[in-house]
């Protein structure tokens, strides 16, 4: 079974609104990563947060990590139509870059 | 700087045929992985490597072989293709655990 699960599975918002996606995982991790995938393309790495970090920012992205609840959230502020994509969380545990992915959240930003 | 290059982009196989999906990176990354992506399943890890000569199994390794004879190349071999292996395959590489993966553009494989 897969390590991570994203919630919601799909999200539709208006341009300018904030989008929040959540990820829950099952076992202890070394780090958690978020990726974006545009339709039919490869994945693009967005941000990595280590297990000893609680929050990280990158441009309009804000990621939080709660290891006690085994969960993470990705916030995209002031969304744009170009943010329309699927977003995946991925976790690395046990070292050696063995990274497993969740099932993804499909985000639609309506202009 | 080409990044991660996967070939071919599309492939149709008959059941029972074998083939190798190629993956090459020019960034001198130690870590490389193969994933398959199926609708509604996200990405599932097939095999991964932490350096030349070292590979290990992921979540769904059955029916696939890998080897890593050089840092640059990480081919994925399908031994005897089955319709259940119809999927999009992604190769990815990373320099170390502080950074995420760089992905290739994928190979869309159909087994008939």
The pLDDT tens digits of the residues spanning B26-59 come to: 999 999 999 999 987 789 999 999 999 999 999 9
Contact B97 A33 (CB under 8 A): no
Optimal mutation site among B42, B48, B92, B98, interface A, most CBs of chain A within 10 A: B42
Contacting residues of A for B97, CB less than 8 Å apart: 30-31, 92, 95, 97
Using the predicted structure, report yes or no on whether residue B74 has a pLDDT greater than 90.
yes
Contact between residue B55 and residue B48 where contact means Cβ atoms under 8 Å apart? yes
The 10s digit of each residue's pLDDT in A22-57 is: 999 998 999 999 999 998 788 999 999 999 999 999
Q: How confident is the model at residue A1 (pLDDT cuts 50, 70, 90)?
A: very low
Contact between residue B29 and residue B95 where contact means Cβ atoms under 8 Å apart? yes
- Closest by Cβ to A48, choosing from B45, B58, B99: B99
Report the pLDDT value the prediction gives residue A40, as an integer from 0 to 100.
Answer: 77
The 10s digit of each residue's pLDDT in A54-88 is: 999 999 999 999 999 999 999 999 999 999 999 99
Residue B76's Cα: distance from chain center in Å?
Answer: 5
Burial class (CB in 10 A: 0-12, 13-18, 19+), B80: exposed
Residue B14 CA neighbour count, 13 Å, CB half:
0
- Closest by Cβ to A42, choosing from B31, B94, B103: B103
Contact between residue A63 and residue A74 where contact means Cβ atoms under 8 Å apart? yes
CA–CA separation, B91 and A99 (whole Å): 12
Q: What percent of chain A clears pLDDT 70, i.e. is strictly above it?
A: 95
How many contacts, defined by CB atoms under 8 Å, are there between A and B?
76
What DSSP character marks residue B73? B
Using the predicted structure, report yes or no on whether residue A95 has a pLDDT greater than 80.
no
Sequence-distant (≥ 6) Cβ neighbours of residue A52 within 8 angstroms: none
Contact between residue B88 and residue B37 where contact means Cβ atoms under 8 Å apart? yes
Contacting residues of A for B58, CB less than 8 Å apart: 98, 100
In DSSP notation, A13-27 reads EETTS-EEEEEEESS
CA–CA separation, A3 and B44 (whole Å): 10
Rounded to whole angstroms, what are the CA distances from B80 to A63, B19, B65, B83?
42, 8, 11, 10
Using the predicted structure, report yes or no on whether residue A2 has a pLDDT greater than 60.
no
Report the pLDDT value the prediction gives residue B99, as an integer from 0 to 100.
Answer: 82
CB atoms within 10 A of CB B69: 10
Chain B residue with the nearest C-alpha to that of A95: B97
From chain B, which residues contact A within 8 Å (Cβ)?
A: 4, 31, 33, 35, 40-45, 48, 50, 56, 58-59, 90, 92, 94, 96-106
Q: How far is A23 from chain B (nearest CA, A)?
A: 13
**To the nearest whole number, what is the mean pLDDT of chain B?**
94
Which two three-digit tokens encode residue A22?
Answer: 């959540």
Q: Which residues, in sequence order, are bridge partners of residue A106?
A: A10, A86
Q: How confident is the model at residue B96 (pLDDT cuts 50, 70, 90)?
A: confident
**To the nearest whole number, what is the mean pLDDT of chain A?**
92
Using the predicted structure, report yes or no on whether residue B101 has a pLDDT greater than 70.
yes
Q: How far is A84 from chain B (nearest CA, A)?
A: 17
């Amino acid at each position: 079974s897969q390590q991570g699960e994203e919630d919601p599975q799909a999200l539709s918002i208006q341009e300018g609104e904030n989008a929040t996606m959540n990820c829950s995982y099952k076992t202890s991790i070394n780090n958690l990563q978020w990726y974006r995938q545009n339709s039919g393309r490869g994945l693009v790495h967005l941000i990595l947060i280590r297990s000893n970090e609680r929050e990280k920012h990158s441009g309009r992205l804000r990621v939080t990590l709660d290891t006690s609840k085994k969960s993470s959230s990705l916030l995209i502020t002031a969304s744009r139509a170009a943010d329309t994509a699927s977003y995946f969380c991925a976790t690395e545990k046990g070292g050696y870059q063995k990274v497993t992915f969740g099932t993804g959240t499909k985000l639609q930003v309506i202009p | 700087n080409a990044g991660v290059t996967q070939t071919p982009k599309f492939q149709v196989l008959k059941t029972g045929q074998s083939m190798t999906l190629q993956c090459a990176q020019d960034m001198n990354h130690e870590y490389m992985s193969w994933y398959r992506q199926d609708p509604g399943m996200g990405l599932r890890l097939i095999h991964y490597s932490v350096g030349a000569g070292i590979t290990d199994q992921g979540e769904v390794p059955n029916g696939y072989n890998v080897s890593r004879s050089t840092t640059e190349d990480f081919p994925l071999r399908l031994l005897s293709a089955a319709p259940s292996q119809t999927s999009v395959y992604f190769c990815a590489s990373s320099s170390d655990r502080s950074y995420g993966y760089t992905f290739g553009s994928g190979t869309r494989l159909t087994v008939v």
